[in-house]
Amino acid sequence: MKSMIFLVLMAAGSVAVAQQRKTPIMGWSSWNTYRVNINDTLIRKQADALVRSGLKEVGYTYINIDDGFFGYRDAQGAMQAHPQRFPGGMKVVADYIHSLGLKAGIYSDAGAVTCGSIWDNDRNGIGAGLYGHEEQDAWQYFREWGYDFIKIDYCGAGQELDLDEQPRYTAIRKAIDKVEREDVEINICRWAFPGTWAKELAASWRISGDISDSWASVKHIVEKNLPLSAYCRDGHFNDMDMLEIGRSLTESEERVHFGLWCMMSSPLLVGCDMTTIPERSLALLKNRELIALNQDTLGLQAYPVQVLDGTYVLVKDIERRRTPVRAVALYNPTDTVRRISVPLAELELAGKARLRDLFAQEDLKAVEDSIVATVAPHDVVIYRVEAERRLEPTRYEAEWAYLPLFNDLGKRKKEIFYAVEGKASGGRVVRYAGGCRENAIVWNGVWSDKGGKYEMTVSYLPTENRGLEVVVNGASVQVPLSADSVVTLPVVLHPGNNTVEMTCRTQWAPDIDRFTLKRTGDE
Ligand code: GLA
């Protein structure tokens, strides 16, 4: 993981305060190509290849050893490496990785058994998980062996022990904290967005089941991540899983895979054999302008502003917030060629817009009014757009909002979630908000240039026996619902960022589609 250091110079006395913000980790992981069939020589060769291929130079700095290194626990319970695969133990491998100027990652399970013991018949994975050995393993992995990253899987804790995710990962985090290595990075691998608590414990969390070397899998993971942009913040990232680039995807599918992992600020872990990676795939992985989107210091995930006819337009701020510079992706997951057109106003941009194609790394002719591109099936174009003006936003979709009580674990019925809904403006509504004050839909960045009075129009699906409370910067109003699925209310916004919440203390709120804002005057 690369860290950016921001120096804030305070005039009086010129005191420099360094503040660290993390970006998604970049590197290589053994799982996609080798599964549990890994060994010392193989890992060293891949580490060498990462350096030789120039990937290290553009930011890929982690070599992550996934499942398959486990041997047995000795009489004291200490984990030993697989005697045939890693005859010299795991420390020498980490030392070698470090000697190349790289960081080393390792793997375990929150329960007693690993996923490999269940799915890959790796008998050594039985009893190899962290369960009952939290502090012992943490000390060994991070202090004795010197690893810098750990991915913590859930097969043993889930399928076998049926533990609750939040307390289980919290206990593990506490054990790792005792090792006193603040640089150790944790990835929660629970194959679904685990809940907003995860940000207290981990730098990233998987949001889907395992990726496979197929177009259907890439498309599915993008779809799953579309409504999760609000959870990518403050140096915490939605993990879309390891890359399948350099294997069997077509050229355009690889563009989608890499381009959208960059737009959505996912960790970038190469998953192919780097000693034989095709030139074309290597060049893609080394595209510095796309990497810059992934490693952008704002650390934001692009969100869908236009969903039309099976195509998507995604956008995010880069470099600085709320300027006329933004990254935009026009994504066509369908099986036919599409002409995708998006008005600049939908991107909150106006005036002449200069476009730079980030795959070709070339400037295009400036446009006005809208951005239009013909996009091949299973393909994407990604532009850095620099317009003349940034407009005040007028629309806030429910699928852009933060839901404090959201998780995707599917353990309880009727929990708040982003429901696919054809009639909704962005293709989704938020269902099952309400029931208590905290179970809200929260838009944290409702922006007003100058502050003032606005007319807010809330759109929702028609339903009976629902109530709606709209809370603007902490001040709550009860909103009467009407039969025609829209309700309008006056609100006052401060200049800059405002917070809007929708909830209901006594019953469910209706399924919320979005709200729009129209300025009506000064405060
Ligand atoms: C799970 C994870 C994978 C991989 C395997 C190892 O399936 O999701 O990414 O780590 O376990 O067994």
User: Three-state SS across 201-228?
Assistant: CCCEEECCCCCCCCHHHHHHHHHHHHHH
* pLDDT tens-place string over residues 232-275: 999 999 999 999 999 999 999 999 999 999 999 999 999 999 99
The count of other CB atoms within 10 Å of the CB of residue 372 is 11
Using CA positions, which residue lies closest to atom 9 of ligand 1? 210
- Residue 229 has a pLDDT of 98
For residue 153, report the distance from its CA to the centre of ligand 1, in Å: 7
Pairing of strands 468-472, 428-431: unpaired
Using CA positions, which residue lies closest to atom 8 of ligand 1? 210
Q: Where do we find the tokens 């992934």?
A: 294
- According to DSSP, residue 215 is labeled H
- Residue 310 has a pLDDT of 96
DSSP for 428-493, written as a single string: EEEES-BSSTTS-EEEEEEEESS-EEEEEEEEE---SS--EEEEETTEEEEE---TTSEEEEEEEE
User: Which numbered atom of ligand 1 lies nearest the CA of 189?
Assistant: 8
How far apart CA 239 and CA 456 sit, in angstroms, is 34
- Residue 195 has a pLDDT of 98
**Beta carbon of 109 within 6 Å of any ligand 1 atom:** no
Query: SS3 for 127?
Result: coil
> What are the backbone angles phi and psi of residue 329, rounded to the nearest 5°?
-120, 135
Using CA positions, which residue lies closest to atom 11 of ligand 1? 115
For residue 234, report the distance from its CA to the centre of ligand 1, in Å: 26
Query: SS3 for 33?
Result: helix
For residue 77, report the distance from its CA to the centre of ligand 1, in Å: 24
Kindly list the catalytic residues. 153, 210
Global pTM reads 0.95
User: Which numbered atom of ligand 1 lies nearest the CA of 122?
Assistant: 12
- Residue 230 has a pLDDT of 98
**Beta carbon of 66 within 6 Å of any ligand 1 atom:** yes
For residue 493, report the distance from its CA to the centre of ligand 1, in Å: 46
Encode the chain (523 residues) as per-residue pLDDT tens digits: 444 443 333 333 333 344 456 999 999 999 999 999 999 999 999 999 999 999 999 999 999 999 999 999 999 999 999 999 999 999 999 999 999 999 999 999 999 999 999 999 999 999 999 999 999 999 999 999 999 999 999 999 998 999 999 999 999 999 999 999 999 999 999 999 999 999 999 999 999 999 999 999 999 999 999 999 999 999 999 999 999 999 999 999 999 999 999 999 999 999 999 999 999 999 999 999 999 999 999 999 999 999 999 999 999 999 999 999 999 999 999 999 999 999 999 999 999 999 999 999 999 999 999 999 999 999 999 999 999 999 999 999 999 999 999 999 999 889 999 999 999 999 999 999 999 999 999 999 999 999 999 999 999 998 888 999 999 999 999 999 988 899 999 999 999 999 999 999 999 999 999 999 999 999 8
Both structure tokens of 103: 């960081």
- Residue 20 has a pLDDT of 55
Using CA positions, which residue lies closest to atom 1 of ligand 1? 115
Contact 381, 260 (CB under 8 A): no
- According to DSSP, residue 174 is labeled H
How far apart CA 92 and CA 106 sit, in angstroms, is 13
Both structure tokens of 16: 């420099």
**Which residues, in sequence order, are bridge partners of residue 428?**
420
**Beta carbon of 128 within 6 Å of any ligand 1 atom:** no
Q: How much of the chain exceeds pLDDT 70, in percent?
A: 96
Which of 42, 131, 26, 136 has its CA nearest to residue 84? 42
For residue 450, report the distance from its CA to the centre of ligand 1, in Å: 49
